[in-house]
Amino acid sequence: MKLSLESQITLYPLSIQKDRKNYIVEEPVSGDFFEMPEICIDAMERINDGQLLGEIESELQKKYPKEKVDIIEFGGQLMELGLIQEVNGEKVKLKKGLLT
């Protein structure tokens, strides 16, 4: 499943906790957890608000001018981690740990 700046994605419900420096994101069903910086949490909150990836990238570039922002790459990482439930209303299927 290919992401574009016009894509809208839906994440699985996640638990997000502030750590000392970063955030701990936990996928409650599997119990998997990941450490992420604030910009990633900001992106995921915007995803949960239903924004298109292009809108999110543009806003994050303004808010974090010193950071490299590539929302397509980040979306791909979220997909690899199994955190994306839908892309443009279409269910993401995981097959033997691989995306289809």
Look at the pTM and tell me if it is higher than 0.95.
no
For the chain, the domain total comes to: 1
Q: Output DSSP code: residue 28.
A: T
33-84 tens-digit pLDDT: 999 999 999 999 999 999 999 999 999 999 999 999 999 999 999 999 989 9
- Place 95 in a pLDDT band, splitting at 50, 70 and 90: low
Is residue 18 assigned to a domain?
yes
Question: For residue 48, is it within any domain?
Answer: yes
Rounded average pLDDT over 18-46: 94
Tell me the pLDDT band of 94, cut-offs 50, 70 and 90: low
50: left (phi over 0), alpha (psi -120 to 50) or beta: left
Per-residue confidence (pLDDT) for residue 47, from 0 to 100: 98
Answer whether residue 59 is part of any domain.
yes
Instruction: Give the end-to-end CA distance of the chain in Å, rounded to a whole number.
Output: 7
Structure tokens at 87: 């892309």
DSSP string, 37-89: -HHHHHHHHHHHTT--HHHHHHHHHHH-TTS---HHHHHHHHHHTT-EEEETT
